[in-house]
Amino acid sequence: MRFAGMGLLLSIFGLAAIIYNLDLDDLEQAEQKRKAKQQLDASDDSNKQFQGKEVEIIGAGEDKRIVARGADGQIELVETGTSSVPHFPRTIHLPTSPDDDTNAGNVQNQEEYTLLGLGIRTVSFLGIQVYVVGMYVRTQDISALQEKLVHVINESASTLIPSEKEELKKRLLDPNESRAIWQELLRVPGLKTAWRVAPTRNTDFGHLRDGWITGITNRTREAKQLAKGIETEYDAEDFGKAVGNFKSIFAGGKAPKGSVMILSRGTMGNMDVWFQEKPGASGKDKQMQLLGSVPDERISKMIWLGYLGGDKVSSEAARQGVVNGCVGFAARPIGSAEARV
């Protein structure tokens, strides 16, 4: 005991000596260097361009606008909160269907989608960034989305007052109520929506796929628990085949930092998976590639719920961003949001 006590005292004195001899100036300089590096990272050349276009900031404060200008026009941007993928487009265009020759979109057989909200997916207790993910809704469907969101709180209203907005936000963040709301919003036939995913570091299709499979597994387990022993649609053999179909889309393939993957959901719940390796390139290198499709609406529903409904979502930041976007839409008179896009 005496030797143990002496050892403890020596350890304490040794630690005190180390702390005493630390050069606090060196520590402060190291911290300043770390912060300076972060500032440099946030202002490097990659942040000054978006898909080959020069990024320009117009105005300041609430009126600030960020646009990327190029020879073929400009793109309005929003900040993501990370220097790895600093901006997301406010609107995107997606093919309405690979098999259709004409549609109500534009001359390139595409439809416009508007950003609803975004966030960063992180993993582990260290908060390692994986990708930025944003949810988009087809622009012509915004009025329908507004109406559904408003009627969640007040069936006779055309917009929400401040107290009702807070109630909607509360419900969309509640594990049980958010699940019920989004299951109704995702009911088919329904709205066209999409997730845009941009990796913040080099990764591959397998890692992205595994994250979505985890989300499907968690939400499927949740649905079975809520059923309390009653057979669900996720117990059927064809659901397992649909999951296998989804997995097969991601066989091989790299997803470098700054590339773009899009999961788009049609009105019947069918899902297309798109990939754009070099958004800033030109010609064929810039083209978006269709990796595959999953007709079974249960797959897209489980992935969407993995981000939006229930407990322990894939990215709480993304859910918060989408919820804020939903509340913002619901605060405007139905139909006015489309006109402002």
Question: Angle at the Cα of 212 (from 207 to 214), degrees rounded to 5?
Answer: 95
Q: Is residue 70 part of a domain?
A: yes
What φ, ψ does residue 106 adopt, rounded to 5°? -135, -175
Higher pLDDT pick, 18 / 144: 144
Does 75 share its domain with 131? no
Lowest average pLDDT, out of 3-12, 52-61, 123-132, 154-163, goes to 3-12
Q: Which of 24, 55, 79 is the last residue of a domain?
A: 79
Counting Cβ atoms within 10 Å, is residue 290 exposed (0-12), middle (13-18) or buried (19+)? middle
* Chain-centre distance for alpha carbon 274: 15
The alpha helices in the chain, defined as continuous H runs, are 2-21, 24-42, 142-153, 162-173, 175-185, 205-227, 237-248, 297-308, 316-330, 336-340
CA-derived radius of gyration, the chain: 24
Higher pLDDT pick, 287 / 272: 272
**Amino acid letter for position 256:** P
Count up the domains in the chain and report the number: 2
Q: Which two tokens stand for residue 283?
A: 């010609």
Does 234 share its domain with 145? yes
Higher pLDDT pick, 52 / 29: 52
Closest CA to 258 of 198, 205, 196: 198
pLDDT of residue 208: 98
**Amino acid letter for position 78:** V
Does 46 share its domain with 141? no
What's the mean pLDDT in 43-54?
73
pLDDT band at 24; cut points 50, 70, 90: very low
Percent of the chain with pLDDT over 70: 80
Q: Which of 18, 53, 79 is the last residue of a domain?
A: 79
What φ, ψ does residue 123 adopt, rounded to 5°? -130, 155
Any residues with CB less than 8 A from the CB of 222 and at least 6 apart, and which? 179, 310, 311
Does 53 share its domain with 189? no
Q: Which of 79, 104, 135 is the last residue of a domain?
A: 79
Average pLDDT, the chain: 85
Does 247 share its domain with 323? yes
Question: pLDDT tens for residues 194-231?
Answer: 999 999 999 999 999 999 999 999 999 999 999 999 99
Please check the confidence at residue 27 and state whether its pLDDT lies above 70.
no
Question: pLDDT tens for residues 285-301?
Answer: 678 899 999 999 999 99
Does 249 share its domain with 120? yes
- What is the maximum alpha-carbon separation in the chain? 89
pLDDT of residue 285: 65
Please check the confidence at residue 44 and state whether its pLDDT lies above 70.
no
Q: Is residue 13 part of a domain?
A: no
- Give dist(CA 110, CA 141) in Å, integer: 15
Q: Is residue 168 part of a domain?
A: yes
Does 166 share its domain with 252? yes
Does 65 share its domain with 141? no
Q: How many CB atoms lie within 10 A of CB 11?
A: 10
Q: Is residue 11 part of a domain?
A: no
- Does the pTM surpass 0.85? The reply is no
Q: Which residues of 13-158 form beta strands (DSSP E)?
A: 49-50, 53-58, 65-70, 73-79, 87-89, 91-95, 110-123, 128-138
Does 211 share its domain with 64? no
CATH number, domain of 212, equals 3.50.70.10
Q: Is residue 8 part of a domain?
A: no
- Give dist(CA 135, CA 137) in Å, integer: 7
Closest CA to 260 of 278, 245, 246, 242: 278
User: Are the CB atoms for 78 and 55 separated by under 8 Å?
Assistant: no
Does 66 share its domain with 144? no
Q: Is residue 304 part of a domain?
A: yes
- Match 């309005």 to its residue by tokens: 76
Q: Is residue 102 part of a domain?
A: yes
The boundaries of the domain holding residue 147 are 91-340
Does 269 share its domain with 175? yes
Closest CA to 274 of 294, 291, 256: 291
Does 108 share its domain with 243? yes
pLDDT of residue 144: 96
pLDDT band at 3; cut points 50, 70, 90: very low
pLDDT band at 49; cut points 50, 70, 90: confident
